Chains A and B, each alone.
Chain A
Amino acid sequence: MHVRNRSLALALAAGFALSLGVGVRAPAGAEEPGVTPTEILLGGLHPYSGPASAYAAIGKGALAYFAYVNDKGGVHGRKINYKDLDDAYSPPQAIQLTKQLVEQDHVFAMFDTLGTPSCSAIRPYLNDNGVPQLFVATGASTFGADYAKYPWTIGWQPDYRSEARVYAHYLLKEDANPKIAVLMQNDDYGEDYLAGLKEGLGPKADSFIVKTATYEVTDASVSSQIASLKASGADTFFIFATPKFSIQAMVITAQQSWHPRTFLNSVSASQTIMNLTAKAGGVEATKGIITTVYVKDPSSSDWDNDAGMKLYKEILAKYAPGSDATNGFFLYGMGVAYTMVDALEHAGKNPTRKTLMNAATHLYEKDNPFTLPGVLVHTTAKDHFPIDQQQLGRYDGAHFVRFGGLIEGRGR
């Protein structure tokens, strides 16, 4: 017994002494990571499994667009290889996969990572290591706003706050003293929208907003929340909810005979959603609803003859056959992939992470085929919000009729 214990202890000690001689980091390669003469390697994270997996369509849209660009020769003669992994919307998965992508696969940059939790979890690591985190797929304003602390990170879509500010400014023009009720998802999505609404409403925001009700994604129905909101006597209703609950909200509001002026967040305002709402609750439930638009809606017949929409449908049919072309997430994915290709082109024939980041922060992209006509994808070193413009649209029972022209400056 005694002898064995001693040899065990010796083994332990030896093992530890040996391991202390372990080397530090792998030596840096001479070439830029992720760039070879024939290929550029990008890394991505999307929830392909779990409750958020509807958003995986964004990654698939981007993959299809890159396949299209590769078939046309790629960028500066290099094909884009987009390694898009499933992080199941979980921050621990996200950080581990990111380290793997950066340290094992040596990706050139991370692109279109999705979801506020995952993007927040990996942002410090990527910035510490000088890896570009480009065009994150989330509307949380921190990804554009905190560029001083995180210069390697940049967003793409108009953030939730700016969208809510646009609604607020428009509302105040119509009604100087609105009584506002808000239904919001109980997470950063809803919170960001509410914050933007208050910013846009100005100093009297808290007196205008008479009632706020939250819901969880695990709730069966928002009928209780709607009842409370209606009872507050509000004449204006903001729905900051994901598609399923937005449909419920619109249907139940009509059912409870409440007819406020209603604003619906853009994520849930596709033609498909409005059609579903009309099916479930009657077309009256959809009339007059206001939202903002910055990309083209593939489920709307408005764009049937549009060249960009036709391109989208062709690419999707060829490179992601069997996909439902009316799903706007695919189109979003293509839109942001277009900007990625734009940035790669401007990063030069011998791109480095620095030149790529420089390109991403000096975008002046006028002809993205997937955004609204006239929308400019524009960034500077101090403006990490690429898309600053959006337009209001009002639903007339058949489709959203855009009005008021493009609103500039993210609603400020």
Chain B
Amino acid sequence: MKDTSFGRYLGVALVVAIVALLPRFIPSYAAFELTYVGAYAIGILGLTILTGTSGQISLGHGAFFAIGGYTVAVLGQKLGVPYWLSLPLAALLSGIIGLGLGLVALRLEGIYLALATFALAVSTPSTLKHFRGLTGGSQGLVIAPLEAPAPLHGVLTSEQWLYYVTWLLAGALFGLTAFALSGRLGRALRALRDNEVAAVSFGIDPQLHKTLAFGWSAAYAGVAGAIVAIATAFVSPDTYTVALSLSLVTGAVLGGIDLLWGALIGGAIVEFLPLVVQKVNPAAPSVVYGVALVLFMIFLPGGIGRAIRSTFTSLRLRGTQHARS
């Protein structure tokens, strides 16, 4: 027990150090791309809570990205609200709508929920276009880019500033999530996922917990969507197609759906897999992507995170075996 805690602290410290130091060694646009990784990781963390811990499949989290992104854009463009204020508002709005959707999701089991959220994802762009007075329609909205605050001018580029803001936020949210899930809440959600009937008979309220998980994960997706919008400095309905929702879920699963830090891997996958795939086959990148998904599900359904963890576990077991002999 003692060893794993130390190992975990070491792992966290390592990640923090890498994240903090990286911009020193990489060009500004690379930090910009890593900002997207951080944003997607936050969004996928939400899916980890929802699907991994609480067992509800959502193929429609792109819709909450849209809510987050458009909240920041509309508040900024039409009301001049600064980002430090509109970002929490985006999280709040997404969370509330997520709670609402969670209430609906209570009545939908597994595959039906997947179906309903799939339909949500597909219909998001047209809904955004319909309310063109608010959203600017299909032209989209150009929004002000994020500048580093005055004291840091010359020390950090605006891209590096956004990188640090994003990863600070990610760190805080990961920490918060780890803390919240390590206690009763986490146990309750996992119990509901594994055997709802038994959990209910133990007095766990499924409605409260499952709805909460939905709202919580939606809030995270809203934060992620807001960051992506700020980074891109532009929102349009085409940003939030079903492809986004599907890539979030696939990133989550490939990263490792029931591991918190799997979301980090997932974020990297969402950001970089399309680029990698383009290099493998520029003529048909989606074929490579699709085949990769299928192969992963057959051979590594627990995702990369699980594969890494089992490797470490077997190494440690072998280590203790050696130690004993």
Binding site for B on A (CB under 8 A): 4, 8, 11-12, 15-16, 18-26, 48-50, 85-86, 88-93, 95-96, 99-100, 102-104, 116-117, 120-121, 124-125, 140, 186-188, 191, 216, 218
Contacts and interface: CB of A to CB of B under 8 A. Distances in A.
B285 A25 contact: no
Contact of A48 (B156, B160, B285): B285
B23 A22 contact: yes
Contacts of B126: 186, 216, 218
Contacts of A50: 243, 286
B36 A92 contact: yes
6 contacts: A15-B16, A22-B160, A85-B278, A88-B274, A89-B238, A93-B274
Interface residues of B, number: 51
Contacts of A24: 154-157
A327 to B, nearest CB: 16
A4 B9 contact: yes
A20 B154 CA distance: 11
A22 B139 contact: no
Contacts of B12: 8
A240 B263 CA distance: 43
A222 to B, nearest CB: 15
A25 B28 contact: yes
Interface string B12-39: 1100110011011001111011001000
B238 A90 contact: yes
Nearest to A52: B238
A20 B155 contact: yes
Contacts of A21: 24
Given A86-B285, A96-B32, A19 B24 contact: yes
A121 B274 contact: no
A95 B234 contact: yes
Contacts of A18: 20-21, 24
Contact of A15 (B21, B129, B157): B21
| Ranked 3 nearest A-B pairs via Cβ | A15-B20, A187-B138, A99-B29
A21 to B, nearest CB: 7
Given A85-B278, A117-B140, A124-B142, 17 more contacts: A8-B13, A22-B156, A22-B160, A23-B24, A24-B156, A48-B278, A50-B286, A86-B274, A92-B228, A92-B231, A99-B32, A99-B159, A120-B236, A187-B129, A191-B137, A216-B126, A218-B122
B142 A120 contact: yes
Contact of B16 (A12, A20, A103, A120): A12
Contact of B138 (A99, A125, A188): A188
Contact of A124 (B20, B137, B140, B145): B145
